[in-house]
Structure 1
Amino acid sequence: MVRLLAGREVVDSLEDDLTPRVASLAARGITPTLAVVRMGERPDDLSYERTAARRAAGLGIGVRSLALAADAPFDELARAIEAVNADASVHGCLMFRPLPPHIDEARACDLLLPAKDVDGITSLSLAGVFAGAPQGFPPATAQACLEVLDHYGVPVEGKHVVVVGRSLVIGRPVAMMLLGRNASVTLCHSKTEDLESLTRLADVVICATGRPRAFGAAYFRPGQTVLDVGINFDAQGALCGDVDFDAAGSVLGDAGSITPVPGGLGSVTTSVTMAHVVQAAEKIAEG
């Protein structure tokens, strides 16, 4: 049976590391604090905000919500971001995207200070990922992929990793981060020809396309490690990933491994965000 790379184990490990660090900051009168900036009330945003708030409360991390109307003008969003930048008691900011169509998203993201950019949304943060010279933090989901690989002892140095998806949220940054770990990375996308042949050649496959169950048995071979980043709903309304879990598992076999959806990378991403908030608070505490 294929090995399951469950997110819960990784989350527990991350939280075991974070708990004493938060306590150490508390002893110095510092509560690591995350600001959540949200426009409108998209159900997925509200759900993630509730999840983040519960996770933060369990760790002793503060959360402040800055909720704006979906039709709020850019200037109002800019003021909210500038208030986060100016507030020394706020150590990190999570801004839900996509922003409404009337908002210039790139301009809004770049208003945030990289030191408080715990999800890698600013140009400077992303430039740091691509240059291998960190400014701010990498995107949390990209970091979560590396945390899962590390926790389960999946080697990447010298290995062939195929990343399917080229977004700045996950595909391109995780490819750069893996290159920094001396992996040989092939970055694919919707226009890649003969994608099935490329993914079958890989030691590790990362699927991040946002297409429910798009990757079936033909994309895999025995013994691979598969990270499914997708969070989708199928025609019946069931939560699923980009990978057809049952079909892939039957091919990967006893020597293979795969992340489930749900129960995989999503929960790790939330914990990585919390880790970035704590790290940001530690940097301030250290001057």
Structure 2
Amino acid sequence: MAALRTFRKLCQHAQHHAYKLHTSAPRVAAVVISGKKLAWQIQEEARADVEDWVLTGHRRPHLSVVLVGDNPASHSYILNKTRAAADVGISSETIVKCSDISEEELLDLIYKLNTDHRVDGLLVQLPLPDYINERTICNAISPTKDVDGFHVVNVGRMCLDQSTMLPATPWGVWEIIKRTGIPTFGKNVLVAGRSKNVGMPIAMLLHTDGRHERPGGDATVTITHRYTPKDQLRQHTKIADIVVAAAGIPNLITADMIKEGAAVIDVGINRVTDPVSGKSRLVGDVDFEGVRQMAGFITPVPGGVGPMTVAMLMKNTIKAAKNVLLFPAERIRMAAAS
């Protein structure tokens, strides 16, 4: 009988522990990072910077935006940029050109804006018509006015860890990571996407030396792209402490691919048709609802990286205005002609 009682107690003890394990608190879903809130903080900093600049006797910074054609998405992006400029005290203008403008005519316009001392920041909204070479246009903008950070000089300086105009979206991703307190030193990072305007610059910012003139994140970075086999992509994402999705493929990153507690930054902007409502909606490259159950941090689409891109563009415009003190007019003219 004593042996039977002992056996029963052992069974009850085991059942009790099994119940505790089974009923333990479920894993808390990821912290959703609000790009809108962070962008508001940055725009507040920009507004204060502009006012200080003006109070010391300088002209208010001015941003010129060139739009070619009638792409609705481009019109929407530019409207967001000019509204943000007005909000922080930057004056701006949008120059709209017909979609049949020749490359030579567009280059002539850029030259005029390069040499106009009233214009501090200059950007040509991408994409451009197929017959216009985007690299030629990006390189035609004076590096000191290049608020998109796409000129080959600014790209080169970024790759050399030097202070320069950083591309707004990658800089926005970098600020999200830093301001959220996500550690990068010695961490594994997976960047899904190799575009020269987004994926490559993000990788550069995250892997370079934190002690250099333009401090980097000291992370170990792997870059994949749309042709990386899914099983290989999963091998990389499963060990990544930070996943940056920027490939332009809806639902590329799913919950089964994520290391528990990883930070997931979704740069993708994809327009898809909702199967239930039949309406068009924006989604990222990440299966948000699924991945947030595994991740530690995650950005939404919309409302994540997008607002940060606009905020960093304002920072670059202020930097462009201050370039007047760093670069004599002769150097600006030489850069514009190069």
- From 220, 237, 243, the equivalent of 2:286 is 243
Q: Distance in 1 between matches of 2:79 and 2:226?
A: 33
Q: How do 1:32-47 and structure 2 match up within 5 A? A: 32-47=61-76
Indicate the residue corresponding to 1:163 in structure 2.
191
2:84 aligns to what?
55
Distance 1:7 1:32 in 2: 25
How many angstroms does 1:191 deviate by?
Answer: 2.5
Report SS of the residue matched to 1:238.
strand
Q: How does 1:63-74 map to 2 (within 5 A)?
A: 63-74=92-103
Unaligned runs of 5+ residues in structure 1 are: none
Q: 2:220 aligns with which of 184, 191, 194?
A: 184
Contact 1:8 1:263 in 2 (8 A): yes
The letter of the residue matching 1:209 is A
Following TM superposition, by how much is the alpha carbon of 1:106 offset from its aligned partner in structure 2, in angstroms?
1.2
C-alpha separation in 1, matches of 2:122 and 2:189: 31
- Give RMSD over aligned pairs: 1.3
SS at match of 1:116: coil
Q: Distance in 1 between matches of 2:148 and 2:33?
A: 23
Moved over 3 A (4+): none
Q: CA shift at 1:271, angstroms?
A: 0.4
Residue type of the alignment partner of 1:251? M
Asked if 1:227 is matched to 2:265, the reply is yes
Aligned residue type for 1:182: D
Superposed counterparts of 1:103-182, under 5 Å: 103-135=132-164, 137-180=165-208, 181-182=217-218
What is the match of residue 12 of structure 1? 40
Superposed CA offset, 1:109-152 (max 9, x none): 111111111111111111111122244x1211000001101111
Contact 1:66 1:80 in 2 (8 A): no
Instruction: Please tell me whether the aligned partners of residues 241 and 259 of structure 2 are also in contact (alpha carbons under 8 angstroms).
Output: no
Structure 1 CA distance for aligned equivalents of residues 79 and 46 of structure 2: 20
Q: Per-residue deviation at 1:12?
A: 2.0
Contact 2:247 2:268 (C-alpha < 8 Å) held by counterparts: yes
Corresponding residue number in structure 2 for 1:272: 312
Letter in 2 for 1:257: F
Q: State the match for 1:258 in structure 2.
A: 298
Instruction: Give secondary structure in 2 for the equivalent of 1:227.
Output: strand
SS in 1 for 2:294: helix
| CA displacement at 1:177 relative to structure 2 | 1.1
Whole-Å Cα distance in 2 between the matches of residues 106 and 9 of structure 1? 33
Distance in 2 (alpha carbons) for counterparts of 1:86 and 1:110? 15
Q: CA deviation at 1:84?
A: 1.4
Contact 1:217 1:247 in 2 (8 A): yes
- 1:271, 1:241 → 2: CA distance? 20
Q: Is this contact kept in 2: 1:5–1:260, CA < 8 A?
A: yes
3-state SS, counterpart of residue 115 of structure 1: coil
Cα distance between partner residues in 2 of 1:46 and 1:190: 28
Q: Which residue identity does 1:234 align to in structure 2?
A: V
- TM-score w.r.t. the length of structure 1 is 0.95
Larger Rg: 2
> Helix, strand or coil for the counterpart of 2:59?
coil
| 3-state SS in 1 of match to 2:273 | coil
